[in-house]
Chains A and B, each alone.
Chain A
Amino acid sequence: MKNTHKIVQPTVSSFSFGRIPEAKKFNLDNKVCAYLIEAGTEDIVRIEFDFLAGQIMEDIPLVASTTNAMLLEGSVNYNAESINRTIDKYGAFPNLSFDKDSAGFIIFTLNKHIEKILELCREILFRPIFPEDELNTLMKNRLQRYQVNRQKVNILSSDHFFQSVFGNEHPYGKYIVPDHFTNVTRSMLREFHSRHYNTSSMNIIVSGKLPSGIETLLNRFFGDIAKEIKKNPLSGIKIKGDIEKKVFIEKSDAVQSAIKIGSLTINKQDPDYPGLKVVDTILGGYFGSRLMKNIREDKGYTYGINSSVNSLLQSGYKTITTEVGAGFAEKTKNEIYNEIRLLQTQPVTKEDLEVAKCFMSGEMIRMFDGPFALAESFKSVLDFGLDNNYYYRLAEKIKTIEPDEIMQLALTYYNIEDLYEVEVGPK
C-alpha cells in the first residue's frame, strides 16, 4: 500500500504582517482630514465618513442612533426612495456605521461612479431633512425590532451588562425602554445633527485602488463645508457601575441561559493594553482558548463561548459571553472563574502560549490584508489619537511576552471581586 502520510509534518515558516501601508494624510480647504490608503488590484474604493457622533454624545436616549439611521431617509434634493435608488443604480453598497463613540457612513463603490457617489454622500451627510413621516415609520419599525430582541437572551444579557458596568446615567450604559422610541422628535435630530455631523470631528478615509484626482474630488464635495472649530466635549457624566455585581433576569420559556461576565478595564491608549489582549486571547479569544476547550470541547455545555477586550474613548471593558443549556449555567460560571484563577496562579505553558501567539500573529496578517481590512484597522487607532505604532507595539508584545507577565496581568486586570455577572434564562 502506498502511504506517504507517515512522512513528517511540514515545517512552518515564521510569518508576520511586515510593514503596514501608511495612510497618506491631506487637509481639505476647510482643514478636514482625509486619509488615503492605496491597496488592492480592482477598480473599487471604500469611503468612510467618520464623526464623533455615537452614543457617547447623546443626552436623550436613541437620539444619536436615530440621527444616523435617518441620514438615508431624505435630504434637500433627494427623498428616501431616490437616495436608495441612486445608490443601487450605481451598484454601490452603503453602510450606516454607529457605535458607542463614533458614527458615520461607509460606502463601497466602483471607481467609475465615484463622482456621483460623492455627490450623494454630501447630500446624505450634510443636507438631511429628517422628514416626519419617515421618522414615524422608522421608530415604529425600530420599536418592533427592539421587542423582537427582548426575546433573545443574549441581547437582554448584553443590555443589562452595559447598564450594570457603566451605570444607567451614562450614555454607554443607558437601558432602553419602549417609551424612548416615542420621545424622539425631528427637532432633537436636527439639533444633534448640526452639533455633531460637522467638520469639527470629521475624518474621511478612502481605501482601495485610488482613482487619480481623488484629492481634488474630495475637496470639491467636502472642502467647502462650513468650518466648525469648536470640538464637542465628551459626556461629562461619570461612569458609575452598579453596586450590585450579580444580575439575574428570569426568562422562564428560554431553553438556554445567556451569561455575560466582565467589568471596566483599560483602553488601547494604556501601555498594558497589548499584553491584556494576549491574556484575553488565551482565556477566550479564539477557538483554542481555555474557555472554548473547557466549556465547549470538554463539557459540551455550549455551542460557543468567547471573551473580548474592547476600547472606548472614555473607558474600556472586557466580557466573557456564552449561551449554555438551561441546566448548565451555574457550572459554567464556576468554570469561568476557575479558568481566571488558573491564569492568575499558574504560568501558562510554553506550548499553550506559542499557539496563542501564532494565532494572534496570523490574525494580524488578516487585519492588514486588502484595502477594506486596512481601512478598518486604521480607523480603530485613528479614533484614539493613535497610529500604526500601536500595531507594531502589539506585534512586539505578542512576540516577547512571557508566562510571568501573563500571570501578573491576569492578577492586575481580572480581579474576580470586580467582575459583574449577568445571567438571563430560566430559574
Chain B
Amino acid sequence: MIDFTRTCLDNGLKVLLHRDTSTPLVAINLLYNIGSRDENPELTGFAHLFEHLMFGGTPEVPDYDTPLMLAGGDNNAFTSNDITNYFITLPADNIETGLWLESNRMQGLDFSQKSLDNQKNVVIEEFKQRYLNQPYGDSLLKLKPLAYKVHPYRWSTIGMSINHIEKATLDQVKDFYYSHYAPNNAILSITGNIDPQKVLLLVKKWFDPIEPRKIAIRSLTEEPVQKQARQLTIENSVPADALYKAWHVGPRKSNDFYSLDMLTDILAGGESGRLYNSLVREKKQFTEINAYVTGDIDPGLLIINGKLMKGIDFKSAEASLNEEIEKLKTHLIPPDELDKVKNKFESSHVFSNTNILNKAMNLSFFELLGNASTINDEVTNFFNVTSEAEMEISRRILIPDNCSTLYYKSGKPDNR
C-alpha cells in the first residue's frame, strides 16, 4: 500500500507526495505528458531528441548536472511512446536543489544551435549503437509499422530514420517546448524521507511562479481494426532466424490488460513458462522465447518473439507456437498454474515498493492514467483474473486476422 497526498497547484501542476523513512534519500520524478505518439510523422524521434536538450542548461543555470552532483544527486530521463520522464535521487536534506533545477528548466531553456547540433550527433550515435549496430536491433522498427498503419505507434521513440533527427531545427525545438513543457502538462511525484507538509511548501515556492501554457491539443488517429493476417520477411546478417508475432490489444487502462499481462506470464514468465518448457526444453525448436504486453496508453500490442534453433524452419517453429496458443483457447488454465503467476505478481509488487524511485515513477504514471490511487488496486486486479477470462481473451485476441508476423531471417542484409 502506497499512502500519498495529492495537490494540484494553481498553474495545473499535479503534485504527489509519499513518505518512506527507510532511506536517507528522496526521489523526484517529473513526468511530462508528451511522447513520441505526439510527433509529426515527418519529424519522428523529436520527443526523445528534445529530452536530450533538456539537459543543455538555462539562462540562469547554464549547467544542469553540476549543481545536482554537488548536492549528491543522480539523475536521468527516458522517453516512451506516451511520456517523457525525468528523475532524480538525492540526499533528503538537499531536496530543494532538485526542485530548483526542475522548476528552472520548466520555466525556460537556453536554446542554442550548438547544443542542438551536438545532441543531434549524440542521438544519431545512440540510434546506431542501440538499433542499427546490434543483431536484431531493428526488429521493432520493422514490426511496428507492420502492425500499425496509421497510429503514431508505428514508429519507435528513437524515430523512423536518422534523417528525421538530422533535419530538426531550433525553431521546431522552441515551438515543441512551449506547446508541451508546462506545469499544466506535468505530474511531479516525490517519495522518500520527506515531511510531506514541508515539502509541499518547497514545491510551491519553486513551481507556483511558473505560468501555465497553452498545450497543443492531442488528436491522434485511431488505428483501424486489423482484418487480415500480415506477414513480412526480412533478411539480415544475424546468426539465427528469429520469429516475431504481434497482436493488437486494448489500452493500458482497459481490464483486458491484466488478463493479457498474466497470459504472457503463463506463456513466458521465466523458465517455468509454457513456451520455454515446450518449445525450448522439450521440442528444442527455439533457443529463447519471450512474451509481453506493451502497456501503452493507446491500444497496444501483445508481442511474442523467439530465436529459432539452427536447422528449424519458420513454418514448423510457428506451428508449434500456434499449438500452444490454441491450447489456451480450448483448455482452461489449471488453478495452480494461475496461482503461480498471481503469487509472482504479488511478490514483485512488494519488491518494487522497496525502491523509492520506482514508487515515484509509478505514482506519476498512474496519475496520468487517471488516478494515482489505482496503483494500490494492481494486485487485486491481477488476483481477480480467472481461467475463464484467460480463455475468453485468448479466443478474442490471439487470432490470425489480428496478428502481424515478422520472419527475421539469417542471411545477407537487405538494402536499407
A contact residues vs B (CB 8 Å cutoff):
2-6, 9-10, 12-13, 15, 17-18, 40-44, 72, 80-81, 84-85, 87-93, 108-110, 134, 137, 140-141, 144-145, 147-148, 150-153, 253-256, 286-288, 296-304, 323-325, 354-355, 358-359, 361-363, 365-366, 369-372
Contact = CB atoms under 8 A, between A and B. Distances in A.
A42 B347 CA distance: 11
A361 B209 contact: no
B309 interface: yes
B382 to A, nearest CB: 12
B90 interface: yes
Given A42-B354, A323-B129, A9 B346 contact: no
B350 A362 contact: no
B70 A303 contact: no
B112 interface: no
Given A42-B354, A145-B287, A85 B272 contact: yes
Contacts of A44: 350-351, 354
B287 A87 contact: no
Given A3-B209, A288-B65, 7 more contacts: A80-B281, A255-B133, A298-B118, A358-B70, A358-B71, A359-B72, A366-B25
Contact of A297 (B89, B118, B123, B237): B118
B2 interface: no
A158 B386 CA distance: 48
Contact of A15 (B94, B119, B134, B355): B94
B265 to A, nearest CB: 9
Contact of B240 (A13, A147, A302): A147
Interface in B243-297: 269-272, 277, 280-281, 284, 287-288
Contacts of A134: 281
A325 B122 CA distance: 10
Contacts of B121: 299-301, 325
Interface stretch (B99-107, B179-187, B314-322): B99-107
Nearest to A364: B72
A370 B354 contact: yes
Nearest to B118: A300
B119 to A, nearest CB: 8
Contacts of A369: 23-25
Contacts of A15: 71-72, 91, 93-94
Contact of A355 (B60, B70, B345): B70
Contact of B287 (A17, A80, A144, A325): A144
Ordered nearest first, which 8 A-B pairs have the shortest CB separation?
A300-B121, A91-B347, A362-B72, A84-B272, A10-B96, A147-B239, A303-B126, A15-B91
Contact of B94 (A13, A325, A355): A13
A90 B339 CA distance: 10
22 contacts: A5-B103, A6-B60, A10-B94, A10-B97, A15-B94, A42-B353, A91-B348, A110-B347, A255-B132, A256-B133, A286-B69, A288-B65, A288-B66, A299-B121, A300-B118, A300-B119, A325-B124, A359-B74, A362-B91, A365-B25, A370-B23, A370-B354
Contact of B122 (A140, A287, A300, A359): A300
Interface string B22-50: 11110000000000000000000000000
B125 interface: yes
B71 to A, nearest CB: 5
Contacts of B310: 140, 144
A2 B209 contact: yes
B135 interface: yes
Contacts of B345: 91
Contact of A148 (B70, B104, B240, B350): B240
Contacts of A89: 336, 339-340, 343
Interface in B289-315: 307, 309-310
A5 B104 contact: yes
Given A40-B354, A359-B69, A361-B72, A296 B94 contact: no
A199 B34 CA distance: 55
Interface string B341-384: 10111111011011100000000000000000000000000000
B103 to A, nearest CB: 7
Interface in B139-162: none
Interface of B: 20, 22-25, 60-61, 65-67, 69-74, 89-91, 93-94, 96-97, 99-100, 103-104, 107, 117-126, 128-130, 132-136, 205-206, 208-209, 237-240, 269-272, 277, 280-281, 284, 287-288, 307, 309-310, 336, 339-341, 343-348, 350-351, 353-355, 413
A171 B288 CA distance: 28
A303 B91 contact: no
The binding surface of chain B is classed by DSSP as helix
A407 to B, nearest CB: 22
Given A5-B60, A81-B281, A150-B239, A140 B343 contact: no
Contacts of A255: 128, 132-133
Contacts of A302: 122, 125, 129
Contact of B272 (A13, A41, A87): A87
Contacts of B96: 10
B238 A81 contact: no
Contact of B129 (A4, A109, A256, A361): A256
B346 A300 contact: no
B343 A366 contact: no
Contacts of A152: 133-135
B239 A144 contact: yes
B23 A141 contact: no
B187 to A, nearest CB: 21
Given A365-B72, A370-B22, A301 B125 contact: yes
A12 B103 contact: no
B354 A88 contact: no
A54 to B, nearest CB: 23
Contacts of B103: 5
A362 B277 CA distance: 44
B203 to A, nearest CB: 13
Contacts of B346: 91
Given A4-B209, A88-B270, A12 B287 contact: no
A19 to B, nearest CB: 12
Nearest to B60: A5
B343 A12 contact: no
A323 B281 CA distance: 36
A5 B107 contact: yes
B97 A81 contact: no
Given A88-B344, A153-B133, A362 B354 contact: no
A109 to B, nearest CB: 8
Contacts of B136: 148
Contacts of A137: 280-281, 284
A291 B343 CA distance: 46
Contacts of A85: 272, 340
The winner among B60, B121, B130 for most chain A CB atoms within 10 A is: B121
A297 B65 CA distance: 12
Given A84-B272, A87-B272, A324 B307 contact: no
B86 to A, nearest CB: 14
A322 to B, nearest CB: 10
A5 B287 CA distance: 57
Contacts of B336: 89
Given A85-B272, A256-B133, A303 B125 contact: yes
A197 B125 CA distance: 44
B25 A151 contact: no
B287 A88 contact: no
A426 to B, nearest CB: 11
A251 B135 CA distance: 13
Given A10-B97, A302-B122, A88 B70 contact: no
